[in-house]
Amino acid sequence: MRSTLIFALFLIGAVSVANAQETTQTNYLSESKDFSFVSKKIKEKSASRTNPADISEPVLTASAQTPAYTRPNAEKRFKRYVNSVIGPFTLLGNAIGAGFGTLANEPEEWGKKPEGFGRRFASNLGRSAIRNTTIYALDETLKLDSGFYRSRKRDPGSRVKNAVLSTFTARKTNGKRVVGVPRLVGTYTGSIVAAEVWFPKRFDYKDGLRDGTVSLGFNTLVNLFREFVLKK
């Protein structure tokens, strides 16, 4: 830019001093306008980059205002664990399961009497405690979150997909889904220990694997209930 101006001034000076002065003045005014135009553009670009209103405008969307995932703090995670072991819904679910087991007389060695119901209820509590304690311990160790979160997309397909995936996945601290090792290990561990330790002798780890798979399927049904029935 500077060399161009010097060359132009040299040519203008060769014609005449008066002509040079007139031309220089004209060029100066023209360049001032050009410079003003360029400055205006630069300011507009700078403002578009630094103006908080412009920056926040694309962020202030309905989906961006609510983070896709926020990891619960340690207190909330522990409280969720306690509720999963001895919370009212856990106790109610185990009692209902014991009731169905008593009606079906499974295992038959425990009978259909109140004593049989009590043994089944205690068995369900023990299996639930082992499962959820294992899930909690692995979640904390691996820094994962096996908790259920409703789908942010409200169409039926997305909600069903979320319910199924939530059974077999966990979330990292950034919200990314990964294989749900804590839930898988916890579910099968609880069922296998129950079959090997306090179930009648005819039961073994194979029955535990079967019951664990059934438990995962039931967990998916519970997730579907949370997605389509519960409000939060």
- Residue 195 vs residue 36, higher pLDDT: 195
pLDDT at position 119 is 97
For residue 197, pLDDT beyond 90: yes
Report the share of the chain in percent with pLDDT over 70: 70
Task: Kindly report the three-state secondary structure assignment for every residue of 92-127.
Answer: HHHHHHHHHHHHHCCCHHHCCCHHHHHHHHHHHHHH
Task: Report the DSSP beta bridge partners of residue 171.
Answer: 145, 177
CA distances from 40 to 47, 51, 75, 94 (A): 10, 15, 54, 72
Mean pLDDT over residues 151-159, rounded? Answer: 94
pLDDT band at 230 (very low <50, low <70, confident <90, very high): confident
pLDDT for res 141: 98
CB within 8 A of 232, min separation 6: which ones? 150
pLDDT of 54 higher than 60: no
Is residue 117 within 8 A of residue 111, CB to CB? The reply is no
- Tell me how far apart the alpha carbons of residues 150 and 232 are, in angstroms, rounded to a whole number: 8
Q: Which tokens in the block code for residue 49?
A: 């980059």
More confident residue, 193 or 231: 193
pLDDT: which is higher, 4 or 71: 71
